[in-house]
Amino acid sequence: MSGHWEHFPHGADIGIRGVGDTPAEAFAQAARAVTAAAADPTTVAAKRSVDIHCTGADLEDLFYTWLNALIWEMSVQRMLFGTFDVTISSGTLHAVAHGEAVSPARHEPAVEVKGATYTALSVRHEGEDWIAECVIDV
């Protein structure tokens, strides 16, 4: 099955899940799920790009670090990102996130994402798919 993202319920916050053929694709899809916690990612135009690089002790640590690096950029740049080019090589992630400045009128962002957490954090290979998921604090 090709890449996709989804949310799963958590008591107070939101679970995000990315699914793809590779860990990199699952990470990119999970990033869309982070955006979707705030606004519909299909309404986000690719007007500006931001480079993100990070490293992790293992794939789960890398996933935590990646999402939090992205959340920091969302907060500091006051942007939403809709598409992501992600590559992972030897424990290092390189990404280009494409998006635009938040428009309260057009995006109607529901919540601000505070951080990705270790709750329900998992990166695993299931059948043909790579699945990357965790709960984000909003």
Partner 1 sequence: MDIAQLERISDNSWRIPPSGKMRVPVVIYADHRLITDMDEKVREQAVNVATLPGIVGASYVMPDAHWGYGFPIGGVAAFDAEAGGIVSAGGVGFDVSCGVRTLTTGLPVATVQASKDLLASDLARSIPAGVGSEGKISLSPLEMDAMLVGGAAWAVERGWGLAEDLERIEERGRMAGARPNHVSEHAKRRQRDEMGTLGSGNHYLEVQAIADIFDAAAARAFGLEQGQVVVTIHCGSRGLGHQIGTEFLREMALAAKAFGIELPDRELACAPINSELGQRYLGAMRAAINCALANRQIITQLVRDVFARRLPQADLRLLFDVSHNTCKVERHSVGGVAHALHVHRKGATRAFGPGHPDLPAALEKFGQPVLVGGSMGTESWVLAGMPTGEALSLSSACHGAGRAMSRHQALKRWTGRALVAELAQRGIIIRSPSMRGVAEEAPGAYKDVTSVVNATEQAGLARKVARLSPLIVVKG
Site for partner 1 in 63-102 (CB under 8 A): 64-65, 68, 71-72, 75-76, 78, 101-102
Contact pattern for partner 1 over residues 19 through 58, marking x by CB under 8 A? -------------------xx-----------------x-
Spatial contact of 8 and 18, defined as CB atoms under 8 Å apart: no
* Under rule CB under 8 A, residue 11 binds partner 1: yes
CB of 138 to partner 1, least distance (A): 5
HSE-up of residue 51 (Cα within 13 Å, Cβ side): 2
CB atoms within 10 A of CB 138: 16
b/e code 107-122 from CB counts within 10 Å (16+ = b)? bebeeebeebbeeebe
Neighbouring C-alpha atoms within 13 Å toward the C-beta of 100? 14
4 makes contact with partner 1 (CB under 8 A):
no
Window 102-131: residues binding partner 1 (CB under 8 A): 102-105, 107-112, 114-119, 121
For 68, other C-beta atoms within 10 Å of its C-beta total 17
- Catalog residues that contact partner 1 under the rule CB under 8 A: 7-14, 38-39, 57, 61, 64-65, 68, 71-72, 75-76, 78, 101-105, 107-112, 114-119, 121, 135, 137-138
